[in-house]
Each structure stands twice: as C-alpha cells, then as structure tokens.
A and B are shown apart, each in its own frame.
Chain A
Amino acid sequence: MKITNVIEANGLTKMFGDFTAVNAITFEVKKGEIFGFLGANGAGKTTAIKMLIGISIPTSGAAKVAGYDVFTQAEDIKKNIGYMSQKFALYDDLTVKENITFFGGIYGLSKSRIKEKTKELLEDLGLEDVASQLVGSLPLGWKQKLSFSVALIHDPKIVFLDEPTGGVDPITRRQFWEMIYRASSQGTTIFVTTHYMDEAEYCDRVSIMVNGKIEALDTPKKLKEQFHADNMNDVFLKLARG
C-alpha cells in the first residue's frame, strides 16, 4: 500500500506584528493517521491549525493540505476537511436535526444524502430521542460528540479537532475516542490537539509544540524512549519546561 502524505507543512510561520506565534514548523501527516498535536496553552497550536484549515493566511513557509496549497487553494482545502473548534460552534438555537441539516446543506450535500446522514449520525450518537431538542439544552459532552459528527458530515479526508474533549467527563471522553478510532478506521485522517496525556498515548504519532516550534515528533513509544520517560506526561513536562 502506498502511503501518501495528506498534510505537508514546510517552515510554516505566522507572525502577529513582532510576535511569532508559529515559528517555521515542518511536519507531515500520513493518510489515515491519528496525529496528536500537543503543546502548552499559547504554544501556537490553534494558530497552526487555522493556517492548515485555510482561515488564517501564513506569513511565510509552505503547506499543502489534502494536496492543495494553503495560500492559493484554501477553498479547495475546505471541501476536503472537517473542523471542530475549541469553542462550541454549532447553533444553540437550532435543534440537533436542524444543525445537521444546515451544515449538510452548506457543504452541498443533496437532500436525500442529508436525510441519510442525519439518520446515521443520530443513531451513531444515540441522540435520536433529542433530535428535535435545541442544541443549547444538551449537556456539553453530547454537544461535543455532535460537533464531531457534524465535522464529518461531508466525509472529509482530514478532520481537525481542537481540544475536542476539553471539559468532558471520562466516560464521554472514552466514547469520543471510540468515535475517533471508528472514523480513522474508515480512512479519515485525524489531526487532534489535547491536553490529556493519556489521549496522547492513543495517537499514532505525536508532535509537541513549545513556544511556536515543534520540539519533538514521533510515536508515543519512541518519544518515551528518547526522553527516558515512563509516560507521555513526563515527556511533555520535560519538553514544555525546557
């Protein structure tokens, strides 16, 4: 099987005035991989993601996502990726079903396809009973699962998850990762940021960002060997503290 890179970043940099938020990061993500994108708060993870998903123009460097250039083909990238932001970004004043229909609609899915997808997603999420409830009334864990499903509604090649499990209970967190694995097994590439180091262990490969730079990138196993640590937590602390 030929392994192809779905994300290739080369010296990708973003500056806000004098401040370098992302400092020449270079990495690639392979198709079907679960790629953990770690870093302390303010390390530049979200800024890096925003460049990759085409809503923030890089200051310099180059990157290709799903084969398209972030500078010139941002709209093509958007057709091929899903994104779940740190902040819950579905409509609280629409029902579960209406949110799914709306996002299906603006991704250009046909009516019948939206119907199919809605049924499928509601079943997967076990949300059939609350399908007609306003999203605002749901608990955070359910909202997050719904966001993830909506990010996958157009069957994207890559899905970017920015701290998807922040503030979520351990059971829901486990369910969430089951969903991630399922999506991954169907060939979707997962690009995920997290602050939970146990979640980092679930990733195929992990990068750790410190002050805008990628300081380490490898499988969790190799990283632990490299830093002589028992778990990812120690690896992270060693790196982040400098």
Chain B
Amino acid sequence: MKTIGYIIQKEFKQIFRNKGMLPIIFVLPLLQLIILSNAATFEIKNIKFAYIDQDRSATSRGLIEKFEASTYFNVLDTYPSQALASSAMLKGEVDVVLEIPLHFERNLQKDKKGNLGIIINAIDGAAAGVTNVYVSQIIQNYNKSILMDVKELSDQQIKPVTIETIPLFWYNKTLNYKTYMVPGILVLLVTMITLFLSGMNIVREKEIGTLEQINVTPIKKSQFIIGKLFPFWIIGMALLTIGLIIASLIFNVPMIGSLLLMYFYTSIYILVILGIGLFISNFTDTQQQAMFIAWFFTVIFILMSGLFTPIESMPRWAQILTEFNPIKYFVEVMRMIMLKGSGFMDILPQLIKTIIYAAIMNVLAVWSYKKTT
C-alpha cells in the first residue's frame, strides 16, 4: 500500500510538471466540448431556396411567402426555367428548387388537386431528408389554410376530415440538439484523454529506460499498475466534473438523474478505458505505436457508439459488434441519467456489462505486463 503511494506521488509530480501536457489534458478537451457541442448538430438552417413560378397567381405567391417567412429557408432567387435552376443547383448555389406549374391555382380550385415539383440536392442524404420534411410541412400547412378558404368560398357539403398529430417530445421537449450532444461529447473527452494518457504512459517509461530500473526492484506488478493508473482515474473523474459544470452553465443541459449514480458509473467505466490503455502499452514499444493503436480503437468506438448515428439503423452484424463497445454503454448511461433521470435499476444492464468489461480488461492488462523478457 505504501509502495503504491510513492508511485502515485511520483506520477502526479510528473504530470503537473509537464508544462506541455497539462493544457492538453485540461484545456483542449473543454474547448472541444464547447466547440463540438455547438457544431455537431443535425438541425438544418439557412437552406438555400429558389423557385420557378410559372403560375404567378395569388396562391403561388402565398406559398412562396410561407417559405420566406420560415427561418429554415433563405429564399434566394427565382428562375424562369428549370434548366437555369438546374445549373444553379449544379454550381451549388441552391439546395432546393420549388417548381409551381402553370394553372396551379386553377387546378387546385377546380379539381381540388395541384402538383408541385420539388428538387432537393441530396448529396448529403440525411440533410436532404430533413429538408424534405421541412418543405412538406410548409406545403401541408399552406394546403390546410387553402382548404379552409375553399370551404368558405364554396360552402359545399364536402367536409374534409383532416387528421392532425400533435407530437409530444419527451426528455428533450424543445428538441434541443445540444441537450442531446453535450452528454455524448463529454463521454468522448473523458474516454479519449484517459485512454491516450494511460496508453502512452508506460510505453514512455519503456522508451526512456526507467521501466527497466523499476523492473529490477521487488515491486509487485499489481502495485505498480495500480499506482500508475490511479492518477489517470482521478484525471478522468476531474474531467467529468469540469465537463458537467460546463454542460450546466454554458449549455443549460439538465441533470435530472442522480449525480452520485453518474459518478459511480463513470468510476467503473474509466477502469475499462485504463485497462485498454495499459493493454496497448504492454504490446507496444514506442509512444507512436501506442498512439496509433489507441486512435484506431477510439475512432471505431466513437463511430459505433450511437453518438452520431443511431445503433438501431446499423446492420445486424454491426449492432452485435457494438456490444463490445464501452463508449456505447457510457453514452447510453450518460444520456439516460442526465436527460431521463434513470435510476440504478434502469442502468443496471449497462452497469453489469461495464463491470465485466473492466474486470476482463484489467486482468488482461496485469497479466500481459511482464517484468521479465
């Protein structure tokens, strides 16, 4: 126990003396949190909108006004022909072209039917999907108001039944993307920093030769490893704390669930990451190698964590792979506790898997650390 204390003391001295490392550990992640949380949004604004109005009627102008009134669309221009509109889209000047055909108003009043053409730049499929929803919503709303007018004008017996859905958004009422992204990005920061630091730390001692000096002492493997990893465990918890403060102060992300539960889960989660880091450290000879391997896993873990893309839409085999992704569990738990207020029993499945993961990784790490060659 005393021996571990000496190692921890030494590690902390080295970390706080390293003037190059300190800002990397504490300042960069927080900058990342602030920048990424603002940037990583699925909301689409300022869609470049153009139209071709061949009808030039009150109805068509009314529709275009609706688009002008929307905050999502930037009504840029009108084109006399489809060919010109197409070439503008090709140049990237517009994202959406609405084409209102000749006799649109007349057909609408006569046949109760009208056709509109919408062309959407779909290079980014997800963005195009969202744009489509926005466009459809505006047209539908406009349609409803026309229907009313038509009804009043003709006062016919046709009573159109409109079914309206009123969605209730739970847990994130205002559909604020930051509320959704901040907890996830916080997970990334805690993970990346602890993984890189622990992954490179022991390799560094290999490189400078001090590890050999340690290996000729009678120190026990477990003592050395606990002493080595404990400081990074503390750093991970400190990062979580600072991140949570920023989440609440800057982004107003609610903390509905138990803070204690979140810390409890994180304390175990970090053990998984430290175990992985140490494992990498044991199988590499230089910090460069360790860094590359750590990056490789981080990128896969992040992209398959459900942070940016929902796991439900991944192919079956990929969904199975995500079961081995610790970040996935942390993202889930973080969002559950912060946004839903989930309790201990709710996160139990994730907690159990994380505990098993931590146990396996750390046993592997201690086992693969060899004092002899």
Contact = CB atoms under 8 A, between A and B. Distances in A.
B13 A94 contact: yes
Contacts of B212: 55, 85, 87, 89
B10 interface: yes
A160 B358 CA distance: 39
A52 B18 CA distance: 36
Interface in B133-190: none
Interface string B1-29: 01101110110011001100000000000
A54 B218 CA distance: 10
A94 B208 CA distance: 14
Nearest to B224: A106
Given A88-B209, A105-B2, A93 B372 contact: no
A118 to B, nearest CB: 13
Given A85-B212, A94-B14, A55 B3 contact: no
Contacts of A103: 213, 217
Interface in A22-70: 50, 53-57
Given A56-B373, A94-B13, A106-B3, A89 B210 contact: yes
B218 A90 contact: no
Given A55-B212, A89-B210, A74 B7 contact: no
Contacts of B9: 102, 105
Nearest to B10: A102
B214 interface: yes
Interface string B285-329: 000000000000000000000000000000000000000000000
A54 B9 CA distance: 27
Nearest to A160: B216
A193 interface: no
Contact of B218 (A57, A79, A91, A102): A79
Contacts of A81: 216
B6 A101 contact: yes
Interface in B195-239: 208-210, 212-219
Contacts of A107: 217-218
Contacts of A56: 372-373
B371 interface: yes
A120 interface: no
Contacts of A198: none
Given A87-B209, A90-B213, A78 B218 contact: yes
A105 B6 contact: yes
Interface range, A side: 20 to 34
A55 B373 contact: yes
B219 A91 contact: no
Contact of A55 (B5, B14, B216): B216
A79 to B, nearest CB: 4
A84 to B, nearest CB: 9
Nearest to A85: B212
Interface in A128-151: none
Given A90-B210, A105-B3, A105-B6, A98 B13 contact: yes
Contacts of B14: 91, 93-94
B85 to A, nearest CB: 65
A83 interface: yes
Given A85-B213, A87-B209, A106 B13 contact: no
Contact of B371 (A55, A88, A93, A98): A55
B215 A55 contact: yes
A83 B372 contact: no
Interface string A6-30: 0000000000000000000000000
B363 to A, nearest CB: 20
Contacts of B217: 78, 103, 106-107
Given A101-B6, A102-B6, A102-B10, A89 B373 contact: no
Nearest to A56: B373
B315 to A, nearest CB: 44
A91 B2 CA distance: 20
A79 B7 CA distance: 18
A76 B218 CA distance: 7
A75 interface: yes
Chain A CB within 10 Å — which of B17, B209, B214, B216 has the most? B216
A108 B4 CA distance: 10
Contacts of B371: 54-55, 74
A83 B216 contact: yes
Contacts of B6: 101-102, 105-106
Interface in B255-271: none
Contact of A89 (B13, B213, B218): B213
Given A93-B14, A98-B10, A78 B216 contact: yes
Contact of A57 (B5, B13, B373): B373
Chain A CB within 10 Å — which of B213, B219, B371 has the most? B213
Contacts of A57: 372-373
Contact of A108 (B2, B214, B373): B2
Contacts of A90: 210, 213
6 contacts: A57-B373, A75-B218, A87-B212, A91-B14, A91-B210, A108-B3
Interface of A: 50, 53-57, 74-76, 78-79, 81, 83, 85, 87-94, 98, 101-103, 105-108
Q: Which 4 A-B pairs have the closest CB atoms?
A: A105-B6, A89-B213, A78-B218, A83-B216
Given A55-B215, A55-B371, A103-B217, 9 more contacts: A56-B372, A83-B216, A87-B212, A89-B209, A92-B208, A93-B13, A93-B17, A94-B14, A107-B217
